[in-house]
Amino acid sequence: MMYRYLVLWCTVAVVLSSCVSELTPVDMPVIDYAAELAGTDPLTEGSRPSILSGVYVVETGQGRLGDTVAVRFDGRRLGIYAERNVTFVGAIGASRGDSAIVIGTWRAITNQDAGRVDLVVSAGEGGRDLVQGKGNGRGLILRGTVRIGSKTDGLVLRKLGAIKARLRGFQIIAHRSGGRNSERLGRSENSIPMMLLASSLGATGIEIDVHATKDGVPIVFHDPTFTARTVPSPYMIGDVNNYSLSQMRIAARLVYGEQIPTLREALSAVIDSTELTLVWLDVKNASVVDSILQIQREMIDYGTRKGRKLQILFGIPSNDILQAYEASPLVGSVPVLCELDPTTARRLKAAVWAPRFTLGTQESVVRELQRDGCDVYVWTLDDAAFIRRYIAADLFDGILTNYPTLLAWGFYTRQIEP
Amino acid sequence: MRYRLLILTLFLCAASAHAALRDSLYRIELVGSVLVQATSYDVAPTSLSATDRFTGSSLTGRAIWRPNHLLGIGFQTGYTTFSAEEFGENLPVQQTNAYASLRAIPLQLVLSMRAYGVEVGTGIGIYLLESIWRVNGEQRVNSTATELGVSSWIGYDIEVVDRLSFGPELHLHVLSGRGIVALGAGLQIRYDVIRY
């Protein structure tokens, strides 16, 4: 009898203590780019990045990438974006003789595959033209392998055509500065390392969340409370604004060990170390609206001095933030993104109106606001079918998503320029 | 309220007096324990912490109704200090010292089995966590949160007088959501409030 009850208690204890499903980290390969690219030349000398950028058909490797991928190349960094398993490749391109080489990391977000990619554009498959900056790259072939664990698969990508630009421009906006902790990207959401990764994920802009410390310092953090999901330190519990910045500096580390950045630190990092063109400040705490506006103004000036084309938008998601904004002596001094109704967006002369996607495309209202010079971003789209539908509408000037890779794929492959 | 308390007191007195007259099969017991506790965190609490293991203390109290079965059911609470530490050097900010501590009050439904003086039990419920901070002896901050957790214990008691017994106890707290495991060892004292 005693034995049966003992087994029962032990079972209950084991089951209950196992209720938390911890996210296992995804190990990305570490590549020593300096060593591996020794003896190569940058592709920018003589070549044109647009030759390598484009929409590619996947001839080998459809099981991992799907039928088409988008490739973006800025002269050094190369990104490949695929719909299948929301896969992205962050790589470096260089030339060696008449050929181009590309090495980088592979990550599939929905199935956690991670590995290394090695690609070559040989001289006879478009490499010579690429290095010499000739032609448009149509028919160019990226050929190589992806190694995931002990398995190596072949990849062959053939360029179909160029990426078609949109006249009004288009922002691929990454939620929580690039990705959520649940995506296991090796960087914490709303951390500076995640902001630095955002471009590799396909984003052209980021949304960051702004809370406040007890001593009134705006910080970049999503939730109103500290939980084990975001800050594992056992001393950091309860409301974020119970703690001063100095206390956070002592004890608060994000899940991958980073500090919680102040708003000023985050914007400085975006200006100094990224090529992002948009930062959407999702303001969560009305008590620090004045401080946020002040920092935003200073950082806009700083970006201008550094020659950066970066738009920093003060987000108004709720009426309490709206009231604090309108009561501020700095009202009207910075560009605003309004998530409230279109009438309020017009009254505020908002640079951007940002409706929720569940309200539908609202075509007539969107077009009317756009005629008045207001851009329209929609949030938050994560489903491939919805992303395709909203892109096909060719209506919005930007989309906010947790999967910038998926949105980049959907946008760049929407229409292939012959 | 006072009439309810009066009625409850009279009921308990009557039940107690009645129960004392005959052999007991049913009872309500109160158990208190004082423990020295070792706590382990999944990760060090701060980047300045030298360890992820700490010693502390724990008080627990539980009331258990034991019907005519091996299983008893009841409620458990207490006060436990998982860790406390001071930081005096290498602070990343301009303070000379800081103190941080994590404490908890469990509020749990418990199931327990007792036979031959040995008791085994499990509690399921919430912990009211409290983080306490002082920087330079000032800026005291108390921040609270709730967390699900389980506790288990095993004890052995010897009756010293009628209804009163005491003995050793091992007590385990597990807050898996926060990566906290604490094991305490100490003494328990048990009193049968009602027998009937």
Instruction: Give A47-96 as a DSSP string.
Output: --HHHH-EEEEEEE-HHHH-SEEEEEE-SSEEEEEETTTTEEEEEEEEEE
Q: Smallest CA–CA separation between A181 and chain B, in Å?
A: 16
pLDDT at res. B16: 47
Helices in A78-164 by DSSP H: which ranges?
A: 127-132
Task: Using CB atoms, pick whichever of B48, B115, B144 lies closest to residue A2.
Answer: B115
Q: Do β-strands A225-226 and A238-239 pair in parallel, antiparallel, or remain unpaired?
A: antiparallel
**pLDDT of A231 over the 80 cut:** yes
Specify which residues A152 forms β-bridges with.
Answer: A147
Whole-Å CA distances, A187 to A117, A190, A256, A298, B48? 21, 9, 6, 27, 21
Question: Are A20 and B43 within 8 A, CB to CB?
Answer: no
Q: What is the token pair recorded at B33?
A: 């324990």
Q: Which of B131, B150, B151 to mutate to test the interface with A (most CBs of A within 10 A)?
A: B131
Q: Which residues contact A238 (CB under 8 A, 6 or more apart)?
A: A225, A226, B131, B143, B144, B145
| Torsion angle, alpha carbons of B37, B39, B45, B51, to 10 | 100
Question: Are B152 and A13 within 8 A, CB to CB?
Answer: yes
Q: Which of A25-39, A108-122, B86-100 holds the top average pLDDT?
A: A108-122
Average pLDDT over every residue of A396-402 = 96
For A287: left if phi > 0, alpha if psi spans -120 to 50, otherwise beta; the answer is alpha
Give the H or E element holding residue A265: helix A263-273
Contact residues on chain A for B89, CB-CB shorter than 8 A? none
CA nearest to A256 within chain B? B43
Percent of chain A with pLDDT over 70: 93
Reported as a pLDDT band with limits 50, 70 and 90, residue A33 is: very high
Q: What is the pLDDT of residues A34-71, one digit of tens each?
A: 999 998 988 875 667 678 999 999 999 999 999 999 99
| Torsion angle, alpha carbons of A273, A276, A280, A284, to 10 | -30
Question: Are A18 and B176 within 8 A, CB to CB?
Answer: yes
| Torsion angle, alpha carbons of A249, A252, A258, A262, to 10 | -50
Phi, psi of A260 (to 5 degrees): -75, 120
Average pLDDT over every residue of A335-363 = 96
Q: Smallest CA–CA separation between A183 and chain B, in Å?
A: 19
Q: What is the token pair recorded at A372?
A: 């008045």
Question: Cα A234 vs. chain centroid, distance in angstroms?
Answer: 29
Which segments within A287-327 are labelled E, that is strand? Answer: 311-316
Helix axes A384-392, A404-412, angle to 10 degrees: 40
Mean pLDDT of chain A: 91
DSSP string for A176-225: GGG--GGG--SS-TTSHHHHHHTTTTT-SEEEEEEEE-TTS-EEE-SSSE
Question: Are B71 and A17 within 8 A, CB to CB?
Answer: no
Gap between the Cα atoms of A400 and A407, Å rounded: 9
Q: Taking a C-beta distance cutoff of 8 angstroms, is the pair A155, A144 a contact?
A: yes
Nearest to B159 by CA among B119, B117, B188: B117
Reported as a pLDDT band with limits 50, 70 and 90, residue A350 is: very high
Contact residues on chain A for B154, CB-CB shorter than 8 A? none
Question: Are A9 and B122 within 8 A, CB to CB?
Answer: yes
Diameter over CA atoms, chain A: 85
Question: Are B92 and A249 within 8 A, CB to CB?
Answer: yes
Nearest to A208 by CA among A287, A300, A276: A276
Gap between the Cα atoms of B91 and B19, Å rounded: 62
Q: In chain A, what is the straight-line distance between the N-terminal and C-terminal CA atoms, in Å?
A: 79
Q: In chain B, what is the straight-line distance between the N-terminal and C-terminal CA atoms, in Å?
A: 26
Instruction: Look at residue A317 and give its three-state secondary structure.
Output: coil
Whole-Å CA distances, A188 to A183, A195, A198, A229, A409? 9, 10, 12, 10, 23
Q: Smallest CA–CA separation between A13 and chain B, in Å?
A: 7
Write the ipTM: 0.78
Q: Which of A247, A249, A253 to mutate to test the interface with B (most CBs of B within 10 A)?
A: A247
Question: Are B43 and A233 within 8 A, CB to CB?
Answer: yes
Task: Using CB atoms, pick whichever of A225, A238, A246 lies closest to residue B93.
Answer: A246
pLDDT at res. B56: 93
Q: Which residues contact A101 (CB under 8 A, 6 or more apart)?
A: A37, A40, A93, A94, A95, A118, A119, A120, A121
Chain A and chain B share a number of CB contacts under 8 A equal to 114
Whole-Å CA distances, A263 to A266, A377, B110? 5, 22, 46
Q: Smallest CA–CA separation between A412 and chain B, in Å?
A: 41
Q: Taking a C-beta distance cutoff of 8 angstroms, is the pair A256, A26 a contact?
A: no
Q: What is the pLDDT of residues A145-177, one digit of tens each?
A: 999 989 999 999 999 998 887 878 899 999 999
Contact residues on chain B for A19, CB-CB shorter than 8 A? 148, 176-177
Phi, psi of A24 (to 5 degrees): -75, 135
Question: Are A251 and B122 within 8 A, CB to CB?
Answer: no
pLDDT at res. A359: 93
pLDDT at res. A134: 87
- For chain B, residues with pLDDT lower than 70 are 1-24, 89-95, 137-139
pLDDT at res. B21: 43
Tell me how many helices (H) and strands (E) chain B has. 1, 9
Question: Cα B110 vs. chain centroid, distance in angstroms?
Answer: 11
Q: Smallest CA–CA separation between B71 and chain A, in Å?
A: 9
Q: What is the pLDDT of residues A182-208, one digit of tens each?
A: 888 999 999 999 999 999 999 999 999
Q: Kindly calculate the radius of gyration of chain B based on its CA atoms and give it in whole angstroms.
A: 20
Whole-Å CA distances, A161 to A70, A138, A330, B21, B44? 10, 6, 47, 96, 52
**Cβ contacts of A304-310, under 8 Å, gap ≥ 24:** A306/A271, A306/A272, A308/A271, A309/A277, A310/A270, A310/A271, A310/A276, A310/A277, A310/A278, A310/A279
Query: Does A322 or A131 have the greater pLDDT score?
Result: A322
Q: What is the token pair recorded at A215?
A: 């001593």
Instruction: Please enumerate residues of A whose Cβ is less than 8 A from a Cβ of B.
Output: 1-2, 5-6, 9, 12-13, 16-20, 214, 225-228, 232-239, 242-247, 249-251, 253
pLDDT at res. A416: 62
Q: Which of A16, A20, A188, A223 to mutate to test the interface with B (most CBs of B within 10 A)?
A: A16
Q: What is the pLDDT of residues A260-298, one digit of tens each?
A: 999 999 999 999 999 999 999 999 999 999 999 999 999
Contact residues on chain B for A20, CB-CB shorter than 8 A? 176-177
Q: What is the pLDDT of residues A371-388, one digit of tens each?
A: 999 999 999 999 999 999
Q: Taking a C-beta distance cutoff of 8 angstroms, is the pair B159, B187 a contact?
A: no
**pLDDT of A121 over the 60 cut:** yes
Question: Cα A265 vs. chain centroid, distance in angstroms?
Answer: 18
Nearest to B56 by CA among B183, B193, B189: B183
Question: Cα A387 vs. chain centroid, distance in angstroms?
Answer: 15
